[in-house]
A and B are shown apart, each in its own frame.
Chain A
Amino acid sequence: MIIKFILNKKEVSIDVDPMKRLLDILREDFGLTGTKESCGEGECGACTVLLDGKSVTSCLVNAVHIDGKEVMTSEGIAKEPIGKLLIDCFDEPNAVQCGFCFPGFLVTSYHYVKTDGEKNLDKIKKSLSGNICRCTGYQKIFESVMLACERKPLMNANERE
Chain B
Amino acid sequence: MKFYKPKSLLELFETSEKIEGKKYFLAGGTDINVQIKNGIIKDESIIFLNHLTELKGVLQSDNHIIIGALASFRGIIESKLLKNKLPFFQNSLQEFASPLIQTTATIGGNIANGSPTADVVPLLLVLNAKLKLFSKSKLREVPISEFYLGYKKFILKRNEIIGAVLIPENAETGYETFYKKIGSRKALTIAKLAIAGLKRISNNKIEDIKLAVGSLNEYPRRLYKVEEYLKNKTVDEIDFFELESQLKKEITPITDLRSDKEYRYQVCVNLIRTFLNH
Contact = CB atoms under 8 A, between A and B. Distances in A.
A binds B: yes
Given A18-B3, A42-B101, A61-B29, 8 more contacts: A1-B3, A56-B104, A57-B100, A60-B28, A64-B5, A64-B48, A67-B51, A130-B99
A61 B104 contact: yes
Contacts of B157: none
B48 A48 contact: no
Q: Is the interface of B mostly helix, strand, loop or mixed?
A: mixed
A47 to B, nearest CB: 9
Given A42-B100, A62-B26, A19 B187 contact: no
Interface of B: 1, 3, 5, 26, 28-30, 33-34, 36-37, 46, 48, 50-51, 74, 94, 97-101, 103-104, 186-188
Nearest to B4: A18
A127 B187 CA distance: 10
Interface size class of A (residues with CB under 8 A): 20 to 34
A113 interface: no
B3 A54 contact: no
A19 B3 contact: yes
Contacts, number: 79
11 contacts: A18-B48, A45-B100, A54-B74, A54-B103, A62-B26, A64-B26, A64-B48, A64-B50, A67-B51, A126-B99, A130-B97
Interface in A68-95: none
B5 A18 contact: yes
B74 to A, nearest CB: 7
9 nearest A-B residue pairs (beta carbon): A130-B98, A129-B187, A130-B100, A54-B103, A60-B33, A56-B103, A57-B100, A41-B34, A60-B30
